[in-house]
A and B are shown apart, each in its own frame.
Chain A
Amino acid sequence: MLISEPPASFTAQSQLVRLFLGLLVCVVLVGLDLSQRAPLASLAQAVWPVADAKQAPVSLVLSGQGTIPMPAQTPAAHASSLLAMPATHPASVMAFWFAGTRESAPDVQIATSQFDRATQQWRAARFVVNRDALGGQLGFGVRRLGNPVAWLDQQGKIHLFVVATGFGGWAASRVVHLRQTSAGHDFDALAFDTARVLPLSWLWNTSFLVRSAPLDLQDGGMVLPVHFELGLKYPVSLRFDAQGNFKGMARMSQRLHLLQPTLLTLSESHWLALLRDHSPAGKVAVTQTRNGGQSWTDLPDLALDNPDSSLAGIALSPGQMVLAHNSSVRSRNRLDLSVSSDGKTWVKDKALAHGAGGDEFSYPAMVWAEGVLWVSYTDQRKSIAWQRYAGVPKYQ
């Protein structure tokens, strides 16, 4: 059947009506969208772990060391994370790591222990996250767990960010955000609910991993460094508000061989990120932001050697930075502590662990809690070792 063409005026009129109606719908949808959104957060500004400059340490003195107890019958441990607890908590520090028969084994779970103030001992470790329970909460399967990173919000709840893999190895990872079920202090009752899988990539949301500690912000939120690692590797910073709600992401480098950023504060909104470098350069890579993580620029590599291994850095107060790092190009058998005033020139201060041959002391974590620097690291992939350094203040 032939259909006669409508007159030109009718066509134009119909087009205008469609456009008007369509734009009306568009305005309604966007208005509805905007009405649900929270007000914009202010520029991210970091807080210093040592708030009082008079308490800033001029030197660090070893005041304790040992090995954190492992859960029973778990021969492998890796990738610890430390969390400073408030003064009202029975523990001064908590540690989280992954443990099982071996890295990537199906029985790997997230373990935790805490250093009790009363006994001055680490509690017997217990598991707090396993893949079956996590899969049950998410509604879909999780193949492997790893790299827990802990953060304490202003309500005293612990947030745990863990790597959970889909089909494939670590490159098929996603970052899962868990929240402490209740804000109680009972270590034996510590449990977590799954908040969400963080939406970080379009490609089935795969290949983002978390490893390093977050940077606390003045608004009570934090910035969590993560990285992508499917073939190429690049770092990304994630911002969270005071309740631990995801507030956005920013790529931290244009280079495609950098991973596991650790954040250092130079000033409230001027930060450095030191990174593990997957290229043959064997150095520590650097990027910086001057606007609280909104945009990042690459800087020249540090002079420090590094064998493509994880780092942990912390800026205690202005001009006082500490870095735990493997310090040779090819081996993880030397783990050192270096100090810096500008984040670019580092001086070796202490040997954390030195071995030989195939020994491995790696994946350090650091936290400052009540005048003490706590360091933990993987010891031979079998356990988590810890050291404690008392800060000697300038005006003692």
Chain B
Amino acid sequence: MTISALIQQLLSTENPLLPYPVTVQMGLYISWATVLGAGALWAGSLLRPAYRVGLCLLMALWALMPGSASPTYWLGLAFQAPSLLTVVLCWGWFFSKPWHKPQTGANRPNGQTLTLKTGLVIGIVLGWVLLLDTLAWWPASVYSWGFSAAACAVVTGLAVIIWAIGGNVARHNTRHSFSFLGVLGVMGLFVMTRLPTGNVWDALMDPWLWLALQALVVRACWVRWRARPTA
């Protein structure tokens, strides 16, 4: 393959790789089971740890049930599948064992690292770009770029640069490395499975995650405004 052919293949949006139908269905159920399980874990924060984990597992099992008795059947109808990033974030949160650490003011994570803040901003901007693209505000279709191999390269490359540069700022914070590994994990899963749709933007960001990111920013601004020194 010549260099120009390689570049053409890299940039082309006309040879997308889509997931197999069976993978799509499995991915749909596993991803909603993960998200609903994490949601139950979060909602049950006042419960004892054992009950909290039990509730989480029950919700996940319910979501894995086939047919219209499953919440996945209706969530899929309305919202299709959540993004891989949402699923990876839920798994990451689950493995941080939040039931061992009641989220009181004393032990709540002390602010966000530079990497997380950067990721937050990129995520919010990406969501706006994709929403406005859906509404045909841009002269070219940004969504269709997500079918190209170049989109994978750009996303992974950007994650690498942020990890490398931000690494020294947040060298002693393991969350920094975990956030990089999270994005890398999403890209690795995407390249192997093509979930949820074969488009890299759908793997990185879904409208609910985008709304959640904005809610985080609004909450942080509100907390900062409340804590401002008064005259």
Chain A interface residues (CB < 8 Å from chain B): 3, 6, 11, 14-15, 18-19, 22-23, 25-26, 29-30, 32-34, 36-41, 135-136, 138-143, 166-167, 194-197, 199-205, 228, 230-232, 234, 236, 239, 245-251, 254, 256
Q: Which of B164-209 contact A (CB under 8 A)?
A: 164-165, 167-168, 171-172, 180, 184, 187-188, 191-192, 197-199, 201-202, 205-207
- Asked whether B160 is an interface residue with its Cβ less than 8 Å from the other chain, the reply is yes
- Residues on A with C-beta less than 8 A from B25 are 138-139
User: Other than the known A15-B167, A251-B136, what 13 A-B pairs have Cβ atoms closer than 8 Å?
Assistant: A22-B161, A22-B163, A25-B184, A33-B17, A40-B12, A135-B68, A140-B73, A166-B78, A202-B207, A204-B79, A247-B15, A248-B144, A250-B141
> Does A199 contact B197, Cβ atoms closer than 8 Å?
yes
Binds A, one of B117-125, B127-135, B212-220: B127-135
Q: Say whether B152 faces chain A, with CB atoms less than 8 Å apart.
A: yes
Tell whether, in the assembled complex, residue B28 and residue A18 are in contact, meaning their CB atoms are under 8 Å apart: no
Interface size of B by CB at 8 A reads: 69
| Chain A to chain B contacts (Cβ below 8 Å), 19 pairs | A15-B167, A22-B159, A22-B180, A29-B191, A34-B6, A36-B191, A40-B9, A41-B14, A138-B76, A139-B29, A195-B21, A199-B197, A202-B133, A202-B207, A204-B206, A204-B207, A236-B141, A239-B14, A247-B14
Q: Which residues of B contact A39 (CB under 8 A)?
A: 9, 15
- Taking a contact as CB atoms under 8 Å apart, the answer to whether A246 and B18 are in contact is yes
Known: A22-B160, A33-B152, A201-B143. A15 touches B165 (CB 8 A): yes
Contacts of A38 in B (CB 8 A): 15
CB proximity of B57 to chain A, nearest CB, Å = 21
Tell me whether B147 and A248 are in contact (CB under 8 A). Answer: yes
Measured CB to CB, the closest approach of chain B to A26, in angstroms, equals 4
Query: In the complex the two chains form, what is the Cα distance from A197 to B77 in whole Å?
Result: 11
Contact of B143 among A19, A40, A197, A202 (CB under 8 A): A202
Which listed residue, B131, B140, B163, B197, touches A205 by the CB 8 Å rule?
B197
Distance from A116 Cβ to chain B, minimum over Cβ atoms (Å): 33
CB-CB under 8 A from A203, the residues of chain B are: 130-131, 134, 207
Contact indicator B139/A232 (Cβ below 8 Å): no
Query: Interface 1/0s, chain B 1-22, versus A by CB < 8 A?
Result: 0000010111011111110010
Which residues from chain A contact B157 at a C-beta distance below 8 Å?
23, 26
Cβ 8 A contact of A202, one of B6, B21, B134, B156: B134
Interfacial chain B residues near A236, Cβ < 8 Å: 141
Distance in angstroms between the alpha carbons of A140 and B140 in the assembled complex: 31
Q: Are B73 and A26 in contact (CB under 8 A)?
A: no
CB distance from A57 to the nearest CB of B (A): 35
